[in-house]
Amino acid sequence: MDFENSFSYAQKMDQEDSLAKFRDQFHLLTHNGKQQVYLCGNSLGLQPKTVRAAIEQELLDWEKYGVEGHFNAKNPWFSYHHLLSQSTSKLVGALPSEVVVMNNLTTNLHLMLVSFYRPTEKKYKILMEASAFPSDQYAIESQTRLHGFDPNVAIVEISAKDGENNIKTEDIISAIEENADELSLVMLGGVNYFSGQAFDMKKITAAAHSVGAVAGFDLAHAAGNIPLLLHDWDVDFAVWCTYKYLNSGPGGTSGVFVHEKHGNNRNLPRFAGWWGHDESARFQMKKGFVPMQGAAGWQLSNAQIFPMAIHKASLEIFDKAGMDNLRAKSIKLTGYLEFILKQYADHLTIITPENPQERGCQLSVIVKQDGRKLFDFLVANQILPDWREPNVVRMSPVPLYSSFEDVYRVGEALNNYFGN
Ligand SMILES: *Cc1c(COP(=O)(O)O)cnc(C)c1O
């Protein structure tokens, strides 16, 4: 694309943007009385304006019906998870029966590992990214210990080669092949939280399966950010949170994908709870767990209506905007940010892959000198990226609510800082 570093160009791009109207459906932030350029949607998405009414509806139904809200609420609580299945399935490329919304991300990661990390004495290793998000490291380490293994032996970490910022797909595949006989599970992030690199989940899944290993992904930074086809890619399981790109609020609920081929496998070990029990008999309170079909059979507790109501309101916006449209805009918007940042290549190095197919909307930038000073300057000038020690600034223009003008303003601030 032929980008231009000018206000009129940014304005023209916003005028031509068919998704620009969605910006108004979010509570944008101000800082010292001026509108802020919010670039932290990778960490906590902004609040959709429809959320308040969605919560009020549940408060009202609770007020009006008490326990009978399970069946009488406008959105009956007993079967609430069904209300999210359709939209969720579209977001991650799954059948509605392959997804369920429940709990939180790390909890769900553990639940999935209970079912899908089934090591034997010989085949017990887990391949993951070096410096994966800490919660994933802790979860996976503790799961290897649960099975009596030493995490230092059981976990094979893959990192970018010396001098490189990203992990090549062929290196991941080689690592899978090198560990073929011992590998039980390949567990990666869909998009790495630090570098912004999106992995080739289709190829990685095929490679894992070719050595008899399971393939699972943490989609915390992928869901709502990049197109996903979990069913077609034959991914075994996946988990994601909803408060990042899915704008569903702090501590928001989480999503789970279990491939159809596993969904009704009653031989899989699982941690069971009453909400995963056959729905038609759930309130009969009888002994003997009979799982619901599909991912819903992994539910434990009665639905967390408030976070789920927020998520429902947010998913309605994704349904209207459409993931394909969002992605098309995202490629342009992040491309524009990349173009702007490259004007300051003397001072900044982008570590996120250049190929749009290998990233979502986030760009991670190494600041060569005094990174924290630049970050503080940006914040003082109504730009809010996020800061990762020791020298990385992450910027995520989110196609639902970020504009080309936002990105232009980042350039303006950089120009003021570095001079040009
Ligand atoms: C954000 C994030 C988490 C956070 O886990 P919670 O259980 O939601 O607190 C975990 N893993 C990854 C990869 C993340 O990006």
The domain that holds 350 is classified in CATH as 3.90.1150.10
Q: 319, 347, 373 — which closes off a domain? A: 319
In a domain, 48, yes or no: no
- Asked which of 319, 346, 381 is the last residue of a domain, the reply is 319
Q: For 27, what's the count of Cα atoms within 13 Å in the CB-facing half-sphere? A: 13
Q: Which residue range forms the structural domain that includes residue 20?
A: 7-42+323-418
Q: What are 356-372's pLDDT values in tens digits?
A: 999 999 999 999 999 99
279-307: average pLDDT = 95
Q: Which of 187, 193, 241, 304 to mutate to test the pocket of ligand 1 (most atoms within 8 A of CB)?
A: 241
Is the CB–ligand 1 distance for residue 42 below 6 Å?
Answer: no
Same domain, 93 and 120: yes
Lookup result for tokens 């069913």: 231
pLDDT of residue 311: 98
In sequence order, the 6+-apart residues with CB closer than 8 A to the CB of 68 are none
Distance, C-alpha 286 to centroid of its chain: 37
CA distance 203 to 102: 28
- pLDDT tens for 296-310 read 999 999 999 999 999
Residue 336, pLDDT > 70, answer: yes
- Domain assignment present for residue 198? The answer is yes
19/160 same-domain check: no
Half-sphere exposure of residue 382: CA atoms within 13 angstroms, side-chain side? 18
Q: Does residue 305 lie within any of the structural domains?
A: yes
Which two structure tokens, joined as six digits, stand for 52? 């308040």
137 with 110, same domain: the answer is: yes
pLDDT category of residue 375 using cuts at 50, 70 and 90: very high
- The stretch 61-70 carries a mean pLDDT of 98
Q: What percent of the chain has pLDDT over 70?
A: 100
Average pLDDT over every residue of 283-299? 95
Atom of ligand 1 nearest to the CA of 106: 7
pLDDT over 90 (residue 111) = yes
What is the DSSP code string of 106-158? HHHHHHHHHHH----SSS-EEEEETT--HHHHHHHHHHHHHTT--HHHHEEEE
**Residue 204 CA to ligand 1 centre (angstroms):** 21
Residue at which a domain ends, from 302, 319, 336: 319
Summarised one tens digit per residue, pLDDT across range 182-200 is: 999 999 999 999 999 999 9
In the block, tokens 């600041």 appear at: 367
Is residue 250 within 8 A of residue 227, CB to CB? The reply is no
- Read off the pLDDT of each residue in 304-318 and give the average, rounded to a whole number: 98
Minimal-distance CA residue to ligand 1 atom 15: 220
Q: Does the pLDDT of residue 1 top 80, yes or no? A: no
In ligand 1, the atom with minimum distance to the C-alpha of 218 is 13
The span from the CA of 231 to the CA of 294, in Å, is 13
The pLDDT tens digits for 210-224 are 999 999 999 999 999
Q: What is the mean pLDDT of the segment spanning 260-267?
A: 95
Of ligand 1's listed atoms, the one at least distance from the Cα of 243 is 8
Q: What is the pLDDT of residue 416?
A: 97
User: Same domain for 355 and 261?
Assistant: no
Protein residue with its CA nearest to atom 8 in ligand 1:
105
Q: What residue ranges in 248-380 does DSSP mark as E strands?
A: 254-258, 348-350, 363-367
Q: What is the pLDDT of residue 420?
A: 58
Query: Does ligand 1 lie within 6 Å of residue 375's CB atom?
Result: no
- Residue 50, pLDDT score: 98
Q: Which amino acid is at 237?
A: F
Q: Residue 184: which residues within 8 A CB-CB, separation 6 or more?
A: 117, 118, 119, 120, 123, 124, 125, 126, 213, 214
How far is it, in rounded angstroms, from Cα 135 to Cα 126? Answer: 16
**Atom number of ligand 1 nearest to Cα 193:** 15
State whether 18 and 137 are in the same domain: no
- Going from the C-alpha of 145 to that of each of 117, 121, 151, the distances in angstroms are 12, 13, 7
* Stretch 46-60: mean pLDDT: 98
Assess whether the C-beta atom of 191 lies below 6 angstroms from ligand 1: no
Averaged confidence pLDDT in the chain: 97
Verify that 146 and 216 share a domain, yes or no: yes
CATH number for 236? 3.40.640.10
The answer to whether residue 1 is domain-embedded is no
| Same-domain status, 308 and 341 | no
- How many domains, in total, are found in the chain? 2
If you measure from the C-alpha of residue 324 to the centroid of ligand 1, how many angstroms do you get, rounded to a whole number?
A: 25
- Asked if 90 and 185 sit in the same domain, the reply is yes
- pLDDT value of residue 419: 86
Rounded-to-integer distance, Cα 92 and Cα 222, Å = 9
Same-domain check for residues 283 and 227: yes
Claim to verify: residue 35 and residue 96 sit in the same structural domain: no
Q: Is residue 49 part of a domain?
A: no
pLDDT at residue 330 above 70? yes
Ligand 1 atom closest to Cα of residue 107: 7
Q: Dihedral (C-alpha) 125, 129, 130, 132: value to the nearest 10 degrees? A: -110
pTM listed for this prediction: 0.97
Question: If residue 386 lies in a helix (H) or strand (E), which one and from where to where?
Answer: strand 386-388
Examine the domain organization and report whether 21 and 86 are in the same domain: no
Q: Do 211 and 313 belong to one domain?
A: yes
Beta bridge mates, 156: 127
* Whether the CB of 220 sits within 6 Å of ligand 1: yes
Rounded Cα distance, 196 and 191, in Å: 6
Look at residue 28 and tell me if it is in a domain. yes
Residue 47 domain-assigned? no
